[in-house]
Amino acid sequence: MNAVKLKKGASSHSAYDLKSFLGDVEETHTLAVLVDNEAGVLARVIGLFSGRGYNIESLTVAEVDHEGSRSRITIVTTGTPSIIVQIKAQLARMVPVYAVNDLTVEGPSVERELALLKVTGTGEKRVEALRTAEIFRARVVDSTLESFVFELTGTPEKIDAFADMMRPLGLHDVARTGVAAIARGT
């Protein structure tokens, strides 16, 4: 009789080899962290991630309260649900941290990223790059006889899709700001 009710061959005969079927799924979360605006705080927050081997997909920082001298760090990270809980708990324990909000879990939020993309080319590829940019609502912010620089604001997926479309048309360089996010509603 199989007391654990595992399918035959599901383990290598050791309880240490059993994996949680829910814990292996990697999720992407957007965290908004309110911190003191002082030297070394960003390094300490990033040190928490690098010291434990956590990945950062995107990172943006800006001062949001001049009188209170506070900054907001927006971090997009990936990990299993248990890792995400661990990251939030460790961030909340840091002294210069006032609040940690998981925008992915707390309800609907708005995420935007700004990108500048340089596309080089002539002839039909140049015309096609302009047509594609119009579809994506990208703005031309610089133009020479050999290249365009497009400015595009949107979700990271939109920017990825635009870059994929521009690659065969002569995508030369990409600069991205990272995700800025805020919760919707009250």
> What are the structural domains of the chain?
24-102 (3.30.70.260), 109-183 (3.30.70.1150)
pTM value is: 0.78
Residue 88 CB partners (closer than 8 Å, separation 6+): 31, 100, 102
Measured between alpha carbons, how far is residue 129 from residues 116, 142, 154, 172 in Å?
14, 14, 18, 12
In the prediction, which pLDDT does 185 show? 87
Walk along the chain (186 residues) and give the pLDDT tens digit of each residue: 445 555 555 555 554 544 555 557 899 999 999 999 999 999 999 999 999 999 999 999 999 999 989 999 999 999 999 999 999 999 999 989 999 999 999 999 999 999 999 999 999 999 999 999 999 999 999 999 999 999 999 999 999 999 999 999 999 999 999 999 999 987
Query: Could you count the other beta carbons within 10 Å of the beta carbon of residue 148?
Result: 23
